[in-house]
Amino acid sequence: MSSILVLPGDGIGPEIVDEALRVLTAAQKRFDLDIQLDHALVGGAAYDAEGDPLPESTLAKARAADAILFGSIGGPKWDNIERDKRPERGLLRLRSSLGLFANLRPAILFPQLAEASSLKPEVVSGLDILIVRELTGGIYFGQPRGIKEENGERVGFNTYVYSESEMKRIARVAFDLAMQRGKRVCSVDKANVLEVTELWKEVVTEEAKAYPEIELSHMYVDNAAMQLVRAPKQFDVIVTGNLFGDILSDEAAMLTGSIGMLPSASLDENRKGLYEPCHGSAPDIAGQGIANPLATIMSLAMLMRYSLQRDDVADAIEAAVEKVLDQGLRTGDIYTEGTRKVSTGEMGSAVAEAL
Amino acid sequence: MSSILVLPGDGIGPEIVDEALRVLTAAQKRFDLDIQLDHALVGGAAYDAEGDPLPESTLAKARAADAILFGSIGGPKWDNIERDKRPERGLLRLRSSLGLFANLRPAILFPQLAEASSLKPEVVSGLDILIVRELTGGIYFGQPRGIKEENGERVGFNTYVYSESEMKRIARVAFDLAMQRGKRVCSVDKANVLEVTELWKEVVTEEAKAYPEIELSHMYVDNAAMQLVRAPKQFDVIVTGNLFGDILSDEAAMLTGSIGMLPSASLDENRKGLYEPCHGSAPDIAGQGIANPLATIMSLAMLMRYSLQRDDVADAIEAAVEKVLDQGLRTGDIYTEGTRKVSTGEMGSAVAEAL
Ligand SMILES: CC(C)[C@H](C(=O)O)[C@@H](O)C(=O)O
Ligand SMILES: CC(C)[C@H](C(=O)O)[C@@H](O)C(=O)O
């Protein structure tokens, strides 16, 4: 038996997670899956109910589960509360407490949605990049940090820090994943300016020796931001730190034009993982039944693949998504003339049915 | 009389600077310009000659000059020398020693080169963004920094730090420049994670009160990286810190498809400035006479505008560049069928003549 903790979160989170659960039910019927589901509060919803974006009870359940299906968090409602209580901090503490250091963010162009990209078709057709982002270290968690008073004025400061072992383990994840793909890894740093990334480059290079088949290259982050726009298909796997990964994975996702389609996985050493869509909580459209549930459904597929080791189920879910796209079903965010606009619920049902 | 220090640097630097000087000579003939030129070594060239990428003599000349015309620096030849002696460090020390805190990086799409962009024409046509990047602070210069030994392993660390006064002065530069343009400023931060940028957001917001006509917005850096790809024309002026500015300005430059066209200015409190093309030293094509000198020529135009307060000369140089583009002259990097491929020297001569 496997246990999945469901954390719907805020904004459109609950709606899109509901559709993923509908697909899960269909998958349980078709496959031999023994899954126990549990639910808990996180983010703004948890703050409202218990004064904490990551209550102890939620964390305990998350620790106990084999995998976590996560919706999305945040919204203007919680913008002005005390820093440590904001929804985002709940997610950051969850990542860190569970040691979910490996964030996998695929940027894939669905041929059915090629038109949605702001890039020319020939630049992005067939795009399939995997960004591997370190998720529990770097400047996101570095100490010291804060805002202090110095010489009569305020000074803000954060610390960008990585140890060799943190760098090694994320490099290995990237190399292992690349071995199952195009065997090319591009490590992104700013080694010409930042010592921490100079060490990063060195450690990644050393680690690569254990992977003779991997073609490793290095790129400065400013150049990577350019190359993603110029010729994104040059990349197979990109590995980088927490902050650069945050920026580049969003840029890469947007190349596809359909951020409502992109899932992500955040894994620990034992492939226990948290799975969430790349997009945010979209408070402006929450509750209207128009959000795109496909990124969350694809996140469920990743959950099957990585944490439950059920490639067959993952493949089937992904195939079902392709099928409804082929049928011309589209939520508002990916709608184009000649296709059929459907609601969040209709899209979820269609995928469940296709399964 | 005004004095300009010329720092050709490495790679294609000397070739492209030569063409800018040819244009300067033409400008001197046409306009009433009393300019004294001086030359000095910087970057790898200075390291080779004097063991230092920014020799004392170069720095002294730079301090004395009213403006600096800079080519480009770096190359594989100097990749493995001691960190502090690398060409890039010379440039960083120069920026810092002269207090060139305001880096202006326009991303403009030349209608004649619209095809060069990897984005769809409707997404980028008419693009005209100005990125204002803080250049002498932030994580580029923060202390402490380095690589140390801790618990038996290496640890790399850098410090991201800004004081209120540093934030204020760059915000004012952005607001002043926006007042001469679309009056919209987008400040980019990662205030949901990094305290230093939380303070940034606060200070920029306070500073904006003195500019009631300015429409100020805020965006997280990951979202900004996305929005630049999705709908870049939504921006007028973007203001941000050193590292985010490095990444976003290169991304924005690449939206135009013609990074060989884009100039930059780095200004101090008194509008003394260093002017350099956005592109690098391109060691692979150095010495072949095929590099595009237009970014350097446009940098000379910025020099006229900002440091010499000669808008008339700047406008004339920019008009001359437009004219040669209209004539169909193209260096290899911007060549498309139906245009005429010319060398670095032919391009420079054509602009000088058009002037
Ligand atoms: C919400 C925020 C803290 C988060 C991050 O920066 O990691 C988000 O942007 C992401 O990429 O998952
Ligand atoms: C060469 C390098 C140090 C420099 C920087 O990062 O500032 C360059 O990328 C730039 O943007 O001018």
DSSP B130-194: EEEEE-SSGGGT-SS-EEEEETTEEEEEEEEEEEHHHHHHHHHHHHHHHHTTT-EEEEEE-TTT-
For residue B171, the CA-to-ligand 1 centroid distance in Å is: 25
For residue A149, the SS3 value is: strand
Residue A347 CA, chain-centre distance (Å), reads 21
pLDDT of res. B136: 98
Q: Please give the average per-residue pLDDT across A166-176, as a whole number.
A: 98
Asked if B127 contacts B256 with a C-beta cutoff of 8 angstroms, the reply is yes
Which member of A193, A197, A255 has the closest CB to residue B229?
A255
CA–CA separation, A280 vs A292, rounded Å? Answer: 11
Closest to B130 (Cα-Cα) out of B231, B255, B252 = B252
Cis peptide before B144 (omega within 30 of 0): yes
Question: What local confidence, expressed as pLDDT, does residue A342 receive?
Answer: 97
pLDDT value of position A268: 97
Asked: is A1-105+256-355 a CATH 3.40.50.10790 domain? The reply is no
Q: Is the dihedral of CA B38, B44, B47, B50 positive or negative?
A: negative
Does pLDDT of A79 surpass 90? no
- Please list, in sequence order, all residues whose beta carbon lies within 8 angstroms of the beta carbon of residue B102, skipping any fewer than 6 positions away: B132, B134, B135, B169, B170, B173, B265, B266, B267, B268
Q: Among A150, A156, A222, whose Cβ lies nearest the Cβ of B195?
A: A156
pLDDT at A80 (0 to 100): 87
pLDDT of A32 over the 90 cut: no
Name residue B43's beta-bridge partners.
Answer: none
Exposed / middle / buried, residue B50 (Cβ in 10 Å: 0-12, 13-18, 19+): middle
pLDDT for the residue B258: 86
Tell me if A284 is assigned to a ligand binding site: yes
How close A305 gets to chain B, by Cα (Å)?
27
The dihedral built from the CA positions of residue A132, A135, A139 and A140, taken in this order, carries a sign that is positive
Pick from B115, B14, B30, B108: which is nearest to B353 by CA?
Answer: B30
Report, at the CATH architecture level, how domain A128-255 is classified. 3-Layer(aba) Sandwich (3.40)
CA angle A115, A117, A119 (to 5 degrees): 110
* Ligand closest in space to the Cα of A10: 1
CA distance A313 to chain B (A): 32
Element (H, E) at A69: strand A67-72
Is residue B155 within 8 angstroms of chain A, CB to CB? yes
pLDDT at B32: 86
Q: Which atom of ligand 1 is nearest to the CA of A87?
A: 1
Q: Any CB–CB contact under 8 A between B197 and chain A? A: yes
Of B193, B226, B259, the CB nearest to A251: B226
B88 CB near ligand 2 (under 6 Å) = yes
Kindly report, residue by residue over A232-266, the tens digit of the pLDDT. Answer: 999 999 999 999 999 999 999 999 988 899 999 99
Give the closest-approach CA distance of A285 to chain B in angstroms: 18
Contact B268, B136 (CB under 8 A): no
For B139, the closest chain A residue by CA position comes to A194
Tokens describing residue B208: 């904006």
Q: Does the distance separating the beta carbons of A223 and B196 come in below 8 Å?
A: no
- Regarding the beta carbon of B15 and ligand 2, being less than 6 Å apart is answered no
- Could you tell me how far CA B179 lies from the centroid of its own chain? 21
Residue A3 pLDDT more than 90?
Answer: yes
Q: Which residues in chain A are closer than 8 Å to B229, comparing Cβ atoms? A: 118-119, 229, 251, 254-255
pTM score above 0.85: yes
3-class secondary structure, A80: coil
Report the candidate in A302, A312, A299 with the shortest Cα–Cα distance to residue A261: A299
φ, ψ at A267 (rounded to 5°) = -110, 150
When CB atoms are compared, the residue of B120, B203, B225 closest to A247 is B225
Q: Give the relative orientation of helices A294-306 and A344-354 as an angle to the nearest 10 degrees.
A: 40
Question: Could you read off the pLDDT tens digit of each residue along chain B, which spans 355 residues?
Answer: 899 999 999 999 999 999 999 999 999 999 989 999 999 999 999 999 999 999 999 999 999 999 999 999 999 999 889 989 999 999 999 999 999 999 999 999 999 998 899 999 999 999 999 999 999 999 999 999 999 999 999 999 999 999 999 999 999 999 999 999 999 999 999 999 999 999 999 999 999 999 999 999 999 999 999 999 999 999 999 999 999 999 999 999 999 988 899 999 999 999 999 999 999 999 999 999 999 999 999 999 999 999 999 999 999 999 999 999 999 999 999 999 999 999 999 999 999 999 9
Amino acid identity of residue A294, one-letter, is: L
Q: Which protein residue has the closest C-alpha to ligand 2 atom 6?
A: B246
Which tokens belong to B281? 């030293």
Cite the DSSP H helix spans in chain A: 13-30, 43-50, 56-64, 87-97, 121-124, 164-179, 195-207, 221-230, 242-255, 294-306, 311-326, 344-354
Q: Do B229 and A92 touch (CB under 8 A)?
A: no
- Annotate B279-335 with DSSP letters as a single string: S---GGGTTSS-S--HHHHHHHHHHHHHTS--HHHHHHHHHHHHHHHHTTEE-GGG-
Q: Which residues of A73-84 are buried (b: 16+ CB within 10 A; e: fewer)?
A: bbbeebeeeeee
Angle between helices B242-255 and A221-230 (to 10 degrees): 20
- Tell which residue, B222, B310, B214, B248, has the closest CA to residue A105: B222
Which residues from A are below 8 Å from B161, CB to CB?
155-158
Burial A111-127 (b: 16+ CB within 10 A, else e): ebbbebbbbeeebbeeb
Q: What is the DSSP letter of A39?
A: E
Evaluate the CA torsion angle A20, A21, A25, A28 in order and state its sign.
positive
Domain edges within chain B: 1-108+260-355, 128-255
Q: Say if residue A144 is preceded by a cis peptide, omega within 30 of 0.
A: yes
pLDDT of B80 reads: 87
Residue nearest to atom 10 of ligand 2 (CA): B246
Contacts of B73 (CB under 8 A, 6+ apart): B9, B10, B11, B13, B42, B43, B44, B53, B87, B88, B90, B91, B281
Asked if A156 and B162 come within 8 Å (Cβ–Cβ), the reply is yes
pLDDT at B311: 96
Whether B338 and chain A come into contact, CB under 8 Å, resolves to no
Chain A residues lying within 8 Å of B165, measured CB to CB = 153
| Measured distance between the N- and C-terminal CA atoms of chain B, rounded to whole angstroms | 22
DSSP A203-241: HHHHHGGG-TT-EEEEEEHHHHHHHHHH-GGG-SEEEE-
Q: Whose CA is closest to B87, among B53, B62, B56, B59?
A: B53
Q: Is B222 part of the annotated catalytic residue set?
A: yes
What residues of A are annotated to the active site?
Answer: 140, 190, 222, 246, 250
Residue B254 backbone zone (phi > 0: left; psi -120 to 50: alpha; other: beta): alpha
* Identity of residue A36: Q
CA of A249, closest atom in ligand 1: 11
pLDDT of residue A182: 97
Please say if the pLDDT value at position A90 is more than 90.
Answer: yes
**Can B190 be counted among the known catalytic residues?**
yes
Give A240 Cα–ligand 1 centroid separation in angstroms.
15
Please identify which residue in the block is written with the tokens 């440590």: A84
Is CATH 3.50.50.60 the classification given to domain B1-108+260-355? Answer: no
Instruction: Kindly calculate the radius of gyration of chain B based on its CA atoms and give it in whole angstroms.
Output: 20
Q: Is B139 near chain A, with CB under 8 Å?
A: yes
Do A128-255 and A1-105+256-355 fall under one CATH topology?
A: yes
Pairs across A and B, CB distance < 8 A:
185
DSSP-assigned beta bridge partners for residue B245: none
